[in-house]
Amino acid sequence: MVRAQATAKYVRTSAQKAGLVLDLIRGKDINRALSALQFSKKAVARDVAKVLRSAVANAQQQDGFGGDVERLFISKCHADNGPSMKRVRPAPMGRAFRIIKRTTHLTVEVTERAQVIRAVGTEAGGAGAPARRTTVKKTGATKAAARKTGAKKTKKASSAAVNAPAGKE
């Protein structure tokens, strides 16, 4: 199983904004991720696409890679905070406001999907086919209704005994 990663450091955006784009592509295969990034309106999507292409190229250079890019998917991707540049902006009455220009480090890791080999049974219900389990979901409404009706009966019976006059029957 091939695993490769690529990192872009000091990208001029905040880690929070980059994380929104990375959440879009996490767990997807390469072609779907690239098309999602292509049509994204976020500016950092271009940088993420560049890192993703670099990770795919790194995977292709490894020895155990079979050559099929279709089997690659994004296993991990994250944006870490980079150093912040602090700048000064003049403000009224001789004061100065601080401006923080944030940077981020983008990391994308791609992994090759394992090949799924399925045993083919001779018959539909034969020994090769696994037995299916059927589960019946019990709804909580019937249990709650049973409890409520029992509680009401006992409550009415006890309240009838209390409210009944002692002398008359």
Q: What is the pLDDT of residues 59-118, one digit of tens each?
A: 999 888 877 888 999 999 999 999 999 999 999 999 999 999 999 999 999 999 887 667
- CA 133 to centroid of chain Cα atoms: 28
Q: What is the pLDDT averaged over residues 111-129?
A: 68
CA distances, 47 to each of 6, 12, 107, 109, 155 (Å): 12, 10, 11, 15, 69
Mean pLDDT of the chain: 84
In a domain, 124, yes or no: no
Domain count, the chain: 1
Q: Rounded to an integer, what distance in angstroms lies between the CA atom of residue 159 and that of residue 169?
A: 16
Q: Rounded to an integer, what distance in angstroms lies between the CA atom of residue 25 and that of residue 21?
A: 7
- CATH number of the domain enclosing 54: 3.90.470.10
Beta strands per DSSP E along the chain: 3-11, 72-81, 85-90, 96-101, 104-112
In a domain, 52, yes or no: yes
In a domain, 156, yes or no: no
Q: Which two tokens stand for residue 65?
A: 């890679």
The model's pLDDT over 18-35, given as tens digits with 9 standing for 90+, comes to 999 999 999 999 999 999
pLDDT at 64: 81
Residue 105 belongs to domain spanning: 3-112
pLDDT at 23: 96
Q: What is the pLDDT averaged over residues 135-148?
A: 62
Least confident of 13-22, 93-102, 130-139: 130-139
In a domain, 143, yes or no: no
